[in-house]
Amino acid sequence: MTTAQGTSASARPPVLVGMLGLGVVGSGVAQTLNEQRERLAEQAGCPVVLHRVVVRDLSKPRTPAVAHGQLTDDTAAVLDDPAIAVVIELMGGEEPALSYIKRALGAGKHVITANKEVMAKHGPELAALAAERGLALHYEASVGGGIPLIAPFRQSLLANRISALHAIINGTTNYMLTRMAKEGVEFSPVLAEAQRLGYAEPDPSYDVEGTDAAFKLAILAGLAFHTRVAPEQVYREGITKLSARDFRYARELGYAIKLLAIAKRANGAVEVRVHPAFIAEDRLLGQVDGVFNAVEVDGDLTGRIMFYGRGAGSLPTTSAVVADLIEVAQALGHGGRPRPAVAGDAGLPIQPMDEVVTRYYARMTLRDQPGVLAQIAQALGDLQISIASVIQKESDSAAQVAEIVLMTHLAREDSMQAALARVRLLPGVVDIGAVIRVED
């Protein structure tokens, strides 16, 4: 195989790679680097060689793609080896991954990571460190697994002023919500099944409370709006309070319920929130089911576009990691420097959740007595919230209660919360079962 310059790619000096972690993703990366060696060398313009791999437990059985002699439990064997030009961090978690990435950059190594937690919490600081030294810091695999997202935001979409992004970026919860919607199953049995299938962790809170989606949204919103978004600035509400009946009622009204990660430009600020939301069933995003992910972007030049695919899994994630590696190796193989990390910050403020304006769906159980609905309308009206529709769903004549579903017009979050607090105190209101925001 010969490059455009006439030199055989495999005859050029190799780019040596050190990897931290050989789990689900690391094994896929090792296997691909091993099995696709020739094709990758051709794409990179030089051989790309996995030199050392750090793991925690040397006695675990491993992929045959890594020879036992390449494995080590000593991080210094990668971070302090001057021959290693690129470090791939695939350990996960905040520490020690963060310290290792800093050490790698400090030692002049380019870094590729799939670590959403580290990039969401420390991305700007690491990007500045890498930029200062002219090093690459690539993290395509940190959001959306195999779906290209970071590169499009860093390159292809740069000409756009992005007004909004709406994303389904947690496959576990999307799988669970799809089962609840399609089969009428409640949250707890669906969670138990997701755990049995290995989609959900034994401690599922990272997924079901929206933490994972909030990390990913912080990264995407930061790129889309060229501004720093810390994960704790993302408003976060999980899916644990949803009931199968909400999905039934949503469908009757023409909606799906999804755990949405939303970032929008609003009044010179950026709103960033993760919560369950009604979304029109005929919108593409409303039809993204199962473990699939999708990110919908509204740009002033592109209009609405959508990225869709497998947001996790060994091989989809490997695709993103290895693409980042090829990009770095291409530059190094030609004696140049890879595209350095971008450390820009437009400094847009984050809109407080209280000021966010949306429509709402509310499901309530009321005592079957006259005047209750008028009192609810009054409580909402006192805070300038008007009701778009009320539908009586089920009534239990023995218990003398009825369930209603109401949809509001646009309202501010703080007004809606204040109104709900008043509604809860009304003697005719037994319970407010669910309040879900509507994304039109």
Ligand X SMILES: NC(=O)c1ccc[n+]([C@@H]2O[C@H](COP(=O)([O-])OP(=O)(O)OC[C@H]3O[C@@H](n4cnc5c(N)ncnc54)[C@H](OP(=O)(O)O)[C@@H]3O)[C@@H](O)[C@H]2O)c1
CB of 117 to ligand X, least distance (A): 7
Query: If binding is defined by CB under 6 A, does position 18 make contact with ligand X?
Result: no
> Given the complex with ligand X, which of 16 and 114 has the nearer CB atom?
114
State which H helix or E strand residue 298 sits in: strand 292-299
Complex with ligand X: residue 72 or 330, whichever CB lies closer:
72
Determine the size of the site formed for ligand X (CB under 6 A).
Answer: 23
- Please report whether residue 94 would count as binding ligand X according to CB under 6 A: no
Shortest distance (Å) from residue 76 CB to ligand X:
12
Quick one: which of 83, 85, 143 has its CA closest to 113?
143
Residue range at the interface with ligand X (CB under 6 A); choices 89-97, 153-161, 257-265, 360-368: 89-97
| Residue in the structure block whose two tokens are 């020879």 | 67
- Is residue 22 at the binding interface for ligand X, with CB under 6 A as the rule? yes
| 116 contributes a contact to ligand X by CB under 6 A | yes
Q: Kindly state whether residue 165 participates in binding ligand X, applying the rule CB under 6 A.
A: no
What minimum distance in Å lies between the beta carbon of 288 and ligand X?
A: 17
Task: Tell which one of 39, 64, 80, 96 touches ligand X (CB under 6 A).
Answer: 96
What phi and psi values does residue 6 have, to the nearest 5 degrees? 90, -5
Residue closer to ligand X, measured from CB, 321 or 429? 321
User: Please, which residue, 40 or 53, has the CB nearer to ligand X?
Assistant: 53
Single-letter amino acid, residue 8: S
List the helix and strand counts (H, then E) for the chain: 14, 17
Task: Please give the span between the terminal C-alpha atoms of the chain, in angstroms, as a whole number.
Answer: 53
Residue 118 or 420 having the CB closest to ligand X: 118
Q: Name the DSSP class of 22.
A: -
216 is catalytic: yes
In terms of Cα–Cα distance, which of 198, 294, 176, 286 is closest to 242? 176
From the list 40-48, 108-116, 148-156, 283-291, the region that binds ligand X by CB under 6 A is 108-116
Strand partners, 306: 296
Minimum gap (Å) between residue 411 Cβ and ligand X: 37
26 binds ligand X, rule: CB under 6 A:
yes
The residue number with the shortest CB distance to ligand X is 23
Report in angstroms how near the CB of residue 212 gets to ligand X at its nearest. Answer: 8
Binding-site member from 33, 44, 50, 90 for ligand X (CB under 6 A): 90
Is the peptide bond between 340 and the residue preceding it cis, with omega within 30 degrees of 0? no
CA distance 432 to 421: 10
142 vs 358 by CB, closer to ligand X: 142
Residues with Cβ within 8 Å of residue 403, at least 6 apart in sequence: 363, 364, 365, 366, 392, 393, 394, 395, 433
Q: How far apart are CA 170 and CA 124, in angstroms?
A: 23
Angstrom distance (rounded) from CA 281 to CA 50: 46
Tell me the closest approach of the beta carbon of residue 419 to ligand X, in angstroms.
39
Print the binding letters for residues 135-154 with ligand X: x by CB under 6 A, - otherwise.
------x---x---------
If one asks whether residue 29 binds ligand X (CB under 6 A), the answer comes out as no
Contact residue for ligand X among 32, 233, 317, 319 (CB under 6 A) = 317
DSSP string, 266-297: ETTEEEEEEEEEEEETTSGGGG--TTEEEEEE
Does 313 participate in binding ligand X (rule CB under 6 A)?
Answer: yes
**What angle in degrees, to the nearest 10, is found between the helix axes of 314-333 and 37-44?**
40
Tell me the window of 36-44, 49-57, 150-158, 286-294 that interacts with ligand X (CB under 6 A).
49-57
Stretch that binds ligand X, among 112-120, 162-170, 267-275, 324-332 (CB under 6 A): 112-120
Of 18, 32, 119, nearest to 74 by C-alpha is 18
Residue 344 binds ligand X, judged by CB under 6 A = no
For residue 111, give the 3-state DSSP assignment: strand
Helix 97-106 to helix 116-132 angle (10° resolution) is: 20
169 binds ligand X (CB under 6 A): no
Q: How far is the CB of 332 from ligand X (least distance, A)?
A: 23
- Picking from 301, 369, 314, 296, the residue whose alpha carbon sits closest to that of residue 149 is 296
CB 201 within 8 Å of CB 240: no
79 binds ligand X (CB under 6 A): no
Residue placing its CB nearer to ligand X in the complex, 91 or 434:
91
Q: Which helix (H) or strand (E) holds 438?
A: strand 429-439
124 near ligand X (CB under 6 A)? no
Q: Which of 10, 23, 340, 393 binds ligand X (CB under 6 A)?
A: 23
Structural element, H or E, at residue 53: strand 48-54
Catalytic residue IDs: 216
- What does the binding site for ligand X look like in residue numbers (CB under 6 A)? 21-26, 54-57, 60, 90-92, 96, 114-116, 141, 145, 312-313, 317
